[in-house]
Amino acid sequence: MVHTGICEAIRAKKIISFVYNGKIRTVEPHLYGYDADGDLSLYAWQLQTGSGEGWRQFHASNISGMSITERNFLQPRIDWKPYKIGVSRVLCSL
């Protein structure tokens, strides 16, 4: 189940990789939950893959081939502000 792996990666601060919209994404997962529209989403800092580095929201229904890497990140990104993203229900978060 995708969300079990995502929550495991968030708890362990592990970088994950997956395919999203036909591109391989490598991210530091920060929060997994339902957005204001009720879509299950991952909020993460995308590393130098896909559409470039930065904050991204990924709809879970479009995530495939997810794997947890052996690489860790140490802490939430300094500009991580979960209260600003409009999540209606959090499943797991840093």
- pLDDT at position 50: 62
Region of 3 on the Ramachandran plot (φ > 0 left; ψ -120 to 50 alpha; else beta) = alpha
Read off the pLDDT of each residue in 85-92 and give the average, rounded to a whole number: 90
Residues 25-65: pLDDT tens digits?
999 999 999 999 999 999 999 997 667 889 999 999 999 99
- pLDDT at position 1: 54
Q: At residue 10, what is the residue type?
A: I
Q: What is the mean pLDDT of the chain?
A: 91
pLDDT, greater one: 1 or 2? 2
Q: Is the pTM of this model over 0.85?
A: yes
Q: Is 60 helix (H, G, I), strand (E, B) or coil?
A: helix
Give residue for tokens 């592990």: 14
For the record, the structure tokens of 55 come out as 């904050």
